[in-house]
Amino acid sequence: MAAGPIRSVKTAFVTGCSSGIGLRTCLALAQDGYEVYGSMRDEAKDGPLREAAAKAGADVTVVPLDLRREDSIDGAAGRVLEMSGGVDVLVNNAGYGHFGTAEETPVDDFRAQFEVNLFGLVSLTQKVLPSMRAKKAGRIINMGSVAGRMGLPGSPAYISSKFALEGLTECLRYELEPFGIQATIIEPGVVKTPFFSSMKITEPKEPEYQKMMNHIMSGLQMMVSMGTDPGAVASVVIKALHDTEMLPRYHAGADAAMFMEAKSSRTDMEFERYMKREVLSR
């Protein structure tokens, strides 16, 4: 992939910008002085981003990207690299959730979940890294979740994809250090975005699972209504970029901080009991 001209303005490439955290991260980066490229699967859905950008006086270039397709990943990376001359910050934000128990969720839905939340992300990162290595600088910010730090019933496909992203990010930190490239993972709790209405669902058949899923769904609805604003997650992305040395991970939202504190101060067994008693039984 040919590198374009060298520019002094830093370039950020954010995936999944049609709504939610990605949209707000694009705005925050533009306001922080970055030249921003934001991806979405369907460019015709750029209305909310364009409107918000116009309101904020921000400029964002939209590129099409579907993380399920290698040709699309290739095309998006190529276009951004050609237009920008090199990516300084890659925010791997795009992702979706699948709701359904481990026993009843078809393995193909597990695969689809990993295709977007992990494999597509790996492929895009591989395509952007040579431009970062050439500059001996770069930042990779992966959008994880507190769900990548603790198992819960009802969405094992999603949760295991986010656990995998935690592992990948830790590996990247060691591997990329010699090239002056830093990586981190952001761990939001529940954020008020279209994420939950876009979730794919495997309807439970087994009565015990039906009971479990209904209970989780109603608990989740309550948590979403009290969820963190996506702008707060975007602020954590900016904070990470302002840190000279990015931390391995950053929480986003009061619920995330509370869960992580509860986890780090307990043994695994104590934490499981705490979750059953304080969270899952409500």
Place of tokens 């590996």: 171
Please state the three-class secondary structure of the chain as a single string: CCCCCCCCCCEEEECCCCCHHHHHHHHHHHHCCCEEEEEECCHHHCHHHHHHHHHHCCCEEEEECCCCCHHHHHHHHHHHHHHHCCCCEEEECCCCCEECCCCCCCHHHHHHHHHHHHHHHHHHHHHHHHHHHHHCCEEEEEECCHHHCCCCCCCHHHHHHHHHHHHHHHHHHHHHHHHCEEEEEEEECCECCCCCCCCEECCCCCHHHHHHHHHHHHHHHHHHHCCECHHHHHHHHHHHHHCCCCCCEEEECHHHHHHHHHHHCCCHHHHHHHHHHHHHCC
| Residue 95 near ligand NAP by CB under 6 A | yes
Count CB-CB contacts under 10 A for residue 70. Answer: 13
- State which residue, 85 or 94, has the beta carbon closest to ligand NAP: 94
Instruction: Say whether residue 255 binds ligand NAP (CB under 6 A).
Output: no
Q: Using the rule CB under 6 A, is 190 a contact of ligand NAP? A: yes
Query: Checking DSSP bridges between strand 98-99 and strand 89-92, what pairing results, if any?
Result: unpaired
Shortest distance in whole angstroms from residue 210 CB to ligand NAP = 24
Q: Work out how close the CB of 21 gets to ligand NAP at its nearest, in angstroms, rounded to a whole number.
A: 4
Residue 204 C-alpha from the chain's centroid: 27
Task: Kindly indicate which of the ranges 13-21, 122-130, 235-243, 271-279 contains the residues binding ligand NAP, using the contact rule CB under 6 A.
Answer: 13-21
Active site residue 158: yes
Q: Check binding of 42 to ligand NAP (CB under 6 A).
A: yes
Quick one: 85 or 190, whose CB is closer to ligand NAP?
Answer: 190
- Is residue 19 at the binding interface for ligand NAP, with CB under 6 A as the rule? yes
20 binding ligand NAP? (CB under 6 A)? yes
Stretch that binds ligand NAP, among 3-11, 52-60, 93-101, 167-175 (CB under 6 A): 93-101
Q: Considering the rule CB under 6 A, would residue 198 count as an interface residue with ligand NAP?
A: yes
Q: Least distance in Å: CB of 213 to ligand NAP?
A: 18
Binding mask 52-71 for ligand NAP (x = CB under 6 A): -------------xxxx---
Q: Which of 11, 84, 125, 145 binds ligand NAP (CB under 6 A)?
A: 145
Q: Catalytic pick from 158, 174, 250, 274?
A: 158
- By CB under 6 A, tell whether 156 contacts ligand NAP: no
Does position 188 interact with ligand NAP (CB under 6 A)? The reply is yes
> Cα angle vertex 171, ends 168, 173, to 5°?
110
Of positions 34, 37, 195, 259, contacts ligand NAP by CB under 6 A: 195
Nearer residue to ligand NAP within complex by CB, 191 or 241 = 191
The residues of the shown chain that bind ligand NAP, judged by CB under 6 A, are 16-22, 40-42, 45, 65-68, 93-96, 116, 143, 145, 188, 190-191, 193-195, 198, 230
Any idea which residues carry the catalytic annotation? Answer: 158
